[in-house]
Amino acid sequence: MLAVMRYAFFLAAAAASALLAACAHRTTPDITPPQTPAAWQHASSGAGAPSDTQSDARTGADGAQERIPAEWWKQYEQPALNAAVAHALAHSGALANALLKLRTADLRAEAAGAALRPTPSGNVTASVNRPVTGSAQRSTRSYGVSLGASWEIDLWGKLGAQADMATFEREAAVLDGDQAAATLAASVVRQYWQLAAMQERIRVARQSLAHAERTLSLTQAQHAAGAASGLDEAQAAQAVQTQQVALAAQQQQRTEMRHAFAVLLDAAPGHLPAGIAEPDGLPQNAAQLAARAQPGAGVPASLLARRPDLRAAEWRLRGTLANVQAQKLSFYPALSLTGTLGTGSASLLKILSNPVAALGAGLSLPFLNAGEMRRNPQIAQNEHEQAVNTFRQTLLQALADVENALSSTATQRDAVQRQAALAAQARRIDEMTETRYRAGAVPLRDWLTAQESRRQSELAEVDAQLNLLLAQVQLYQALGASAGGLNAPAPAPTPDTQ
């Protein structure tokens, strides 16, 4: 009777296994990115279009795929900037953390792969027994040694799916490191240009202060000679004080920017690393440098293969798909094999004289837990569908980032030209108003107004140059520029999770 019950039990388990195996094939949502436009909407304005000398280096054999130079900041021809970025990439704590995360992902992938292989075990025992009552209180000793191995056979691919999940996360961690390096490089370039622009603003403020002081000296001399009123002298003194306050505020902003720049380079505030110099100001040919450094945007469809953050998101999306499979397969019967070889003896010298071998097999039936069998796969499926929606929105936002950066660079390039013309015109008006004031044709207030208009126009010119450079940095980031090697398109993830 007992034999019949055992036979029936194993027959039922085998039937259930066959039924689940027949249902093992599952249909899962495809990872389909949103349809991308054939071309960038704002590329026709000139932003993102490489020059004739750049086209050969930036397009592939078919002319369809752009290549962005990894060390793109070197196109600005600023040795101090190049040194700062190189130092940041070599000493950044953020990159060190990214490396630690990658090592952790490596270890987890290794651990997940180890589950597919037999797990060895060993044991050494020694004991002494002595009765606490009775006439015979003689001690007895025993010694034992055993070696064993256990192995869960991956009949349905559950362990393989779990190993895929760890592998996908490891690939995503690699791309996270690429993204961290790219973000750091862009942050250094951005901070460098902001500090350079602040130096230019201080230069303009000092020139304006010197101009106001000369005006005050002239007005004081005229007042002493009776050619100017006390009101003129007071207005000139007020202009000097206004310029002094503005200069002090800008110098404070520069101090804060210097501290932020030092921290970004992993140095104490106020102490730049050896060999690193802060910028003296914006390059005189900033617009020309920006034009030469303008990247080719390529086609929108290439963005997914280019940006490390999107590629990392795709690997993680595939990880959620593998998790759906792993959760479904986790309720299939699991077959485990065990084997041990051991020996024992009352004498340590005879411990190897009585070896014993044992083999075993176990079959677990997790599908009997109907509640978890229904809930867990559905939870994993919901998480995967959420990840699909998030990935689509992230990709759409990345496309919008590129479009915004392309539009911004075109707008700022035009603004630089206009502000340069306005600044030149303001300087000419200032000079003409000074001549008319000295001739007594206009009051001092008109000249002071012209001086302030000149100062504001020169500051606006500096801001326009800075905005153009920052927009270009943002464009490089949006396009997925890396910080090492040529950021050539990488093949899409291909591991099969079906």
Q: Say if CB 212 and CB 243 are below 8 A apart.
A: yes
Residue 175 has what pLDDT? Answer: 86
Q: What are the CA-CA distances from residue 92 to residues 86, 99, 185, 191, 295 (Å)?
A: 10, 11, 10, 15, 26
User: pLDDT-based confidence at 419, cuts 50/70/90?
Assistant: very high
Q: Is the pLDDT of residue 45 over 90?
A: no
pLDDT digits (tens, 9 = 90+) for 82-131: 999 999 888 888 777 877 888 887 787 777 777 777 888 888 888 877 77
pLDDT digits (tens, 9 = 90+) for 339-390: 887 776 666 566 666 777 778 877 777 777 777 778 888 888 888 888 888 8
Residue 270 has what pLDDT? Answer: 81
Query: How far apart are alpha carbons 478 and 177 in whole angstroms?
Result: 17
Q: Say if CB 353 and CB 345 are below 8 A apart.
A: yes
Residue 44 has what pLDDT? Answer: 56
Q: Is the pLDDT of residue 423 over 80?
A: yes
Residue 137 has what pLDDT? Answer: 63
Is the pTM above the cut of 0.85? Answer: no
CA 88 to chain centre: 15
Q: Is the pLDDT of residue 495 over 90?
A: no
Q: Range with the lowest mean pLDDT among 223-227, 305-309, 405-409, 494-498?
A: 494-498
Q: What is the sign, positive or negative, of the torsion defined by CA atoms of 319, 321, 324, 325? A: negative
CA 403 to chain centre: 20
Q: Is the pLDDT of residue 76 over 60?
A: yes
Q: Range with the lowest mean pLDDT among 19-33, 37-51, 363-377?
A: 19-33
Q: Range with the lowest mean pLDDT among 149-158, 315-324, 454-463?
A: 149-158
pLDDT digits (tens, 9 = 90+) for 239-264: 999 999 999 999 999 999 999 999 98
Question: Quick one: which of 481, 111, 143, 66 has its CA closest to 297?
Answer: 66
What does the angle CA 164 – CA 166 – CA 167 come to, to the nearest 5 degrees? 60
pLDDT digits (tens, 9 = 90+) for 443-481: 989 999 999 999 999 999 999 999 999 999 999 888 888
Question: Quick one: which of 431, 430, 422 has its CA closest to 462?
Answer: 422
The rounded mean pLDDT for the chain is 79
Query: How far apart are alpha carbons 78 and 82 in whole angstroms?
Result: 6
Q: In the sheet that 355-364 helps form, which strands lie side by side, from edge to edge?
A: 119-129, 140-153, 334-345, 355-364
> Up-side HSE of residue 392: CA atoms within 13 Å toward CB?
11
